[in-house]
Structure 1
Amino acid sequence: MDRRFACVTLLSSSLLSLTAANAAHAAADWPTKPVRVIVPYAPGGGSDTLGRLVSKHLSETFKQPFVVENRAGAAGVIGSQMVARAEPDGYTLVVSGIGSHVVAPLLQGNTYDPIKDFTHIAFLGGPPTVLVTHPDQPYKDLKSFVEQARARPGAISWGSPGQGTHGYMIGEAFAAAAKVKMVPVNYKGGNPAMTDLLAGHITSAFMSFGTTTPYIQSGKLRALAITSTKRVEGFDNVPTFTELGYPALTGTTWFSLSGPANLPAAIVERLNTEVRRALRAPDVVDEMRRQNMETMDMDVAAINRYVKSEIEHWKPYIQPARKDAQP
């Protein structure tokens, strides 16, 4: 009996070693066929832009097509769920981010676990959020805006692209940090919020900088503060929230690259290296600058820490939104 047990144990160990060796060999040869890059949003947005820019460079580097597929729906959940259920072989990836992997799981519930169900590979970047007002409003800067909000509680309204968006979370965080009472008005997207702000139906808005840029440039909107880490080139008169005394209001509507859970470490490291290289390419740098996007250089450990920290940071602002959304 002992001899049989020993033989079975030896056979099992051999099979495990063979499986591990085959997996290592497959990772070393990867990719040998096209790689799908799921963008869980409609074409034309920031996630789509970054996904296509980076995929172009990865295709050139790995000599295999990295094919972008837009699978929009449910605030990024539908496309992300596809990837969470995919084989962890490196041939199905997703452009993840704050919307699909921070906001949606906390706001909607019963979607997927943004940590356990995914392998986070590399940080891509995204646009900051800016506080804007109509130029007819009396607020010339953030200081006067806060003074008026404190003097007239509930008199100032602020719009956002919707509950759970980066603009919404920054607005809630700002109200808490500045100790002011304002009236949130949440829209189903950035365009209707911009329409009401330009028409004077709301006092202010926390919006993506990319969305507001042409209106700020034309003088149709006044920018009071921005969540970028430093002042944006070409908009030197727009201060950051940090320099105005609100260091917690720093961040972007960021996007990243992820895959299913248990993606082989060798593939993850190779992808992380090449994505970071792609983000330094002149054409990518120029396009991101044109769209006012920021990025950060992160290794695999750093991007995983970042995703976890973002979930914890925004949880207090998303949970009230989820409670309000329930019938």
Structure 2
Amino acid sequence: MHRWKNAVAQAAAVACGLLAACGNVWAQAYPTQAVKIVVPYPPGGPTDIVARVVAQQLGEQLGQTVIVDNKPGAGGNLGAEAVARAAPDGYTLLVATTAHAINMSLFKNLNYDVQRDFAPVSLLTQGPLVLVTTPSFPAKNVAEVIALAKAKPGELNYASSGNGQSTHLAAELFATSAGVKLTHVPYKGSAPALTDVIAGQVPMFFDTMLSSMPFVKSGKLKALAVTSPSRSPAAPDIPTVAESGLPGYEVFAWNGLLAPAGTPPAVLSKLSAEMKKVLENPAVKDKFAAQGFAAAWTSPKQSADYVRAEVEKWRQAVAQSGAKVE
């Protein structure tokens, strides 16, 4: 019996060694084909911009094609569902956003769980939103927006990049904090929302600085405030919402890279290491910083902890706002 136990233990040790060796070989060989990064929004929006910058640099480092695949719809949920069901082999990844943490509480019947069904690789970017309006909008600052909304309850519309996006809940949190009623006009992404705000179809929009600031600089949009607790280095002349009449108001937008749950640890480790190189690349950092985003590499564990904290933070914000999407 003793010899049998020893034999079993030795066999188990050999098996574990073989599995570890296989995992290392797999990681060294990965990737042997094109890698697809799913963006759950239309082309041209902030998440798409981030994904394309990352994809180009990651492809150069890996020596493989990295494809950006836009799968918009349902507030980012269609693309997320597709990746959650994809083979966990490292060849299909998701650029998740603040919305995917929000959606856990906002939508009643999701076909995925952002914590259970994904293996985080790294955060990509973090940054504040900016409250922009069409240039002809009469309010020149946050205090005047609040006064206008109080004078015309429910008549002041705001655009968002979709139900459940940070651009949606940022406005809901603003309305709740200010004690006003605003009317939500959702779009299928930031780009079409911006188009209508620029055209004056909808007067205002809490958008990422990455996509909005070029239009602010060209005079096609007016920037009233940023949502961070302190002013953004990318636009130091724009005041914060908190200093403009709503103390304590704070919203950050983020993007993160996720793989399907069950992706081999060795592959996740390699992706994590490569993403660290991507996000520490000076050219990549400069591209994001110029538009108000900071490159934000985190380890897989740190990323998982961050997503968990965001899910809880936005659960409370959704409950407070009363927002719900079927």
Corresponding residue for 1:289? 289
Q: Secondary structure at the match of 1:237?
A: coil
Give the unaligned 5+ runs of structure 1.
none
Q: Does 1:184 align with 2:153?
A: no
Aligned pair in 2 of structure 1 residues 102, 19: CA closer, same or farther (>3 Å)? farther
TM-score by length of 2: 0.79
- Residue identity (%): 29
Counterpart of 2:38 in structure 1: which amino acid?
V
Superposed, 1:1-327 pairs within 5 Å as 10=9, 13=12, 17-18=16-17, 20-31=19-30, 33-41=32-40, 42-62=42-62, 64-75=63-74, 76-100=76-100, 102-103=102-103, 106-107=106-107, 109-125=109-125, 128-150=128-150, 153-154=153-154, 156-178=156-178, 180-189=179-188, 190=190, 193-194=193-194, 197-198=197-198, 202-228=202-228, 230-233=230-233, 235-244=235-244, 245-252=246-253, 254-318=254-318, 324-326=324-326
Q: CA deviation at 1:181?
A: 1.5
| Structure 1 residue 171 displacement after superposition | 0.4
Deviations 1:41-92 (A, max 9, x none): 4444333333333233333434x41421415143444443343234434343
TM-score, with normalisation over the residues of structure 1? 0.79
**Counterparts of 1:197 and 1:298, CA distance in 2:** 34
SS of the residue corresponding to residue 298 of structure 1 reads coil
Runs (4+) off by over 6 Å: 2-5, 319-323
Give the CA deviation at 1:228: 4.1
Q: 1:60 to 1:197 in 2, by over 3 A?
A: closer
1:258 Cα offset (Å): 1.4
Report deviation, 1:15. 7.2
Cα offsets for 1:186-232 (capped at 9, x unmatched): 13244554455455555533233344334423444332211246434
- Point out the more displaced range, 71-80 or 313-322: 313-322
Give how far 1:153 is off: 4.3
Distance 1:173 1:38 in 2: 31
Structure 2 CA distance for partners of 1:6 and 1:87, relative to 1, 3 Å: farther
Judge which range, 201-210 or 304-313, deviates more: 201-210
CA contact (8 A) 2:162 2:186 kept: yes
Q: Which segments of 5 or more consecutive residues in structure 2 lack a partner in the other structure? A: none
Contact 2:128–2:252 (8 Å) recurs in 1: yes
Aligned-partner SS, 2:295: coil
Describe the shift of the 1:96–1:15 C-alpha distance in structure 2 as closer, same or farther (beyond 3 A).
farther
Preserved CA contact (<8 Å) 2:134 2:203: yes
Alignment partner of 2:294: what SS? coil
Aligned partners of 1:34 and 1:67 also within 8 Å? no
Query: Are the structure 2 counterparts of residues 18 and 137 from structure 1 closer, same or farther at C-alpha, using a change threshold of 3 Å?
Result: closer
The 10-residue stretch of structure 1 (148-157 or 81-90) with the greater mean CA deviation from structure 2: 148-157
The answer to whether the 8 Å contact 1:31/1:91 transfers is no
SS of structure 1 residue aligned to 2:280: coil
Q: CA deviation at 1:233?
A: 4.5
Q: In 1, distance between residues paired with 2:236 and 2:201?
A: 28
Q: Structure 1 residues 27-36 or 279-288, which shifts more? A: 27-36
Residue 274 of structure 1 deviates from its aligned partner by 2.6
* 2:38/2:69 contact within 8 Å kept: yes
